[in-house]
Structure 1
Amino acid sequence: MNVTFGLAHLSALHLAPPALVAAAAEAGFASVGVRVFPATAGETRYPLSPGTPMTAETVRRCRATGVSVLDVEVFTLDGARGPADWMPALETGAELGARILNVIGGDPDRSRLRESLAALVADASPFGIRPCLEPISYQYVDTLADAAGLAEETAAGIMLDVLHFVRAGGSVADLEALPAGIVEVIQLCDGPSAVPDLPTPTELPLGQSLDGSPRQIESRSHRLAPGAGAFPLAEILCALPGVPISVEVPDVAKAAREGTSAHLAALHLATTTLLTSINTAGVR
């Protein structure tokens, strides 16, 4: 099993993309995901578009450090957004060298969602980017089976967030039944067997919404490092050999308390330890 892996932006969303690249390189990550489109209402947007100083500096730091941009995020198809909204995200992703656009299914109209996703896939193709649908346990597309159906119908891929996969009741058998190559990225984290009762944070990076369910609070503010919880991570990873890994572990309180560098270094060590243990066990 390949032991190189990347860092999802949500693990350190308070870092602007150039700083994220530098911090990821320092901690030993091979790639990053970059948020180019807000995930929640009222969220501050980084000034990323082709030709902006921040985009240019992000590209420069990638070249200087060897860290690549694996994916850009996060575009929610909500029934109202169309090409005028997603083309800038695709253009920015191409400028950064990304090959994946993270997509959320937020439209209750299945037929309209399918049409929008198919149009997005077609528009993304000339940029060398594949939109990947992420099933999220509190969105309309919440299960792996639902995401897989839409992906097969539209030629989209899947971004598998382990937290939402587990919280939606996914099984390893579900993963083994998927068509080869449909999962493009695994967002890796850990957590307790049940959704924890967490306090609502006083604030979240970029002004993400604080008005949410326990699952939303866990997802955005407090995940566990790989190996620190109860998720069947070895089984999940072995069911999807060779799929790129992006470590997505926001822990807002810990990062504020111990510092971003220490937080990211701990995530890198935990992930390396997990992958090494899988290799040592002789699992494929």
Structure 2
Amino acid sequence: MSRVHSLAYLSSHRCTPPEAIRVAAATGYQFVGLRLWPNAPGAPQQFLIDRPDVLRETQAAMADTGVGIFDVEIIRIGETFDPHTWDALYDACAALKAKAILVAGDDPDEARLTANYARLCEVMAPYGLTADLEFMPWTEVKDAKSALRIVQNAGTPANAGILVDALHFGRSTTTLDDIRAIPRELLHYAQICDAVAGTHFSTEEMIHTARCERLLPGDGTIDVRGLFDALPADLPVSVEVVNLEAEKNADPSQWAATCLAASLPFTSPR
């Protein structure tokens, strides 16, 4: 059983949305991921919201290539969360026929975070979007068990999801049994990359790796094979490998092709 692959934002961060779609089409991907909302004020993003010309160009690229939009980033649930902050993002996702929005949990009050996650799912449901909560060891959702607890305590909304990133699997306390314990209906896609595994890294080191220095699958010590064997065989894969130093010597298409080629041995059926 073959999987579909999506070119993640971090693997194509040098591209505009229509450029990312055309790069994906030329290098063998079926979908792309876009970052239309920055992960922090002023942080890098792709600009499309409130830019109708970019939206039209992106839709034209989708129609020309058949490449779709899988996930869009990012919503962060903090202490003063209001799900309507992102109304323009939901509208953009609907116009692009996106499937999922990536969600991070930053509120140290887990009960409030859980309630706000449930609110988010409710607000996103009419748009046909899943709210995929990504566990990251430097956030307040540090591992797969935490993500599952929050989603279940939120009442497991129909559009709830848990996003598994190989990097965060390898740098959190998450085990393969924890991955297998995630109900299939909560898994909509997973992200692949590699790095040096371990739980000894500082927050600053973990963030630096995640945003600047991921490794190609097979080049680190994370159990990428074990992870993708534990995940459903038909689960879509987002190829998320950003390495600013390595990318210097490759244009976006070359880098996208390199990332996919390194990922396929781990995501293809055995």
TM-score, length-scaled by structure 1: 0.87
Number of corresponding residues? 265
Could you tell me how far apart the structure 2 residues matched to 1:36 and 1:47 are? 6
1:228-247 paired onto structure 2 within 5 Å: 228-241=219-232, 242-247=234-239
Q: CA deviation at 1:32?
A: 0.7
Q: Which residue of 1 aligns with 2:176?
A: 172
217-226 or 263-272, which deviates more: 263-272
Distance 1:28 1:44 in 2: 25
Q: Matched residue of 1:117: which SS?
A: helix
Q: Are the structure 2 counterparts of residues 248 and 83 from structure 1 closer, same or farther at C-alpha, using a change threshold of 3 Å? A: same
Spell out, residue by residue over 1:111-146, the C-alpha distance to the aligned partner (whole angstroms, 9 max, x if none): 221121111101111110011100011111111111
Q: Which residue of 2 is the match for residue 26 of structure 1?
A: 26
Does residue 213 in structure 1 map to residue 217 in structure 2?
A: no
> What is the aligned partner in structure 1 of residue 256 from structure 2?
264
Counterpart for residue 188 of structure 1: 192
Displacement of 1:147 after TM fit?
Answer: 0.6
Q: Is the 8 A contact 2:228 2:266 kept in 1?
A: no
CA distance in 2, matches of 1:195, 1:55: 41
Residue 78 of structure 2 is aligned to residue 59 of structure 1: no
- Residue 221 of structure 1: CA displacement? 0.4
The more displaced of 226-235 and 124-133 is 226-235
Judge conservation of contact 1:50–1:95 (CA < 8 Å) in 2. Answer: no
CA distance in 1, matches of 2:166, 2:262: 16
- Could you tell me how far 1:247 is from its partner in structure 2? 0.5
Cα deviation, residue 69, structure 1: 0.4
Q: Secondary structure at the match of 1:124?
A: helix
Task: Using the TM superposition, name which of 21-30 and 43-52 deviates more.
Answer: 43-52
- After superposition, residues 44-55 of structure 1 pair within 5 angstroms as 44-49=44-49, 52-55=52-55
Q: Distance in 1 between matches of 2:199 and 2:254?
A: 26
What is the CA–CA distance in structure 2 between the aligned matches of 1:44 and 1:63, rounded to whole Å? Answer: 27
Judge conservation of contact 2:172–2:198 (CA < 8 Å) in 1.
Answer: no
Q: Distance in 2 between matches of 1:45 and 1:254?
A: 20
Contact 1:133 1:157 in 2 (8 A): yes
Q: Is the partner of 2:32 in helix, strand or coil? A: strand
Q: How does 1:1-284 map to 2 (within 5 A)?
A: 1-49=1-49, 52-154=52-154, 155=157, 156-194=160-198, 213-241=204-232, 242-276=234-268, 279-280=269-270
Q: Secondary structure at the match of 1:258?
A: coil
Deviation at 1:88, TM superposition (A): 1.4
Q: Is the 8 A contact 1:33 1:72 kept in 2?
A: yes
Contact kept in structure 2, 1:7 and 1:33, CA below 8 Å: yes
User: CA–CA distance in 1 between the matches of 2:265 and 2:84?
Assistant: 44
Shift of 1:193: 2.8
C-alpha separation between the residues in 2 aligned to 1:170 and 1:196? 14
CA drift at 1:259: 2.3
Letter aligned with residue 164 of structure 1 = H
Report the CA distance shift for 1:64/1:50 in structure 2 as closer, same or farther (over 3 A).
Answer: farther
| Aligned 8 A contact 1:195 1:214 in 2 | no
Report the secondary structure of 1:253's partner residue.
helix
How far apart are the structure 1 equivalents of 2:198 and 2:78? 29
Question: Sequence identity of aligned pairs in percent?
Answer: 28
Q: Which amino acid aligns with 1:26?
A: A
Distance 1:213 1:23, change over 3 A: same
TM-superposed deviation, 1:100: 0.6
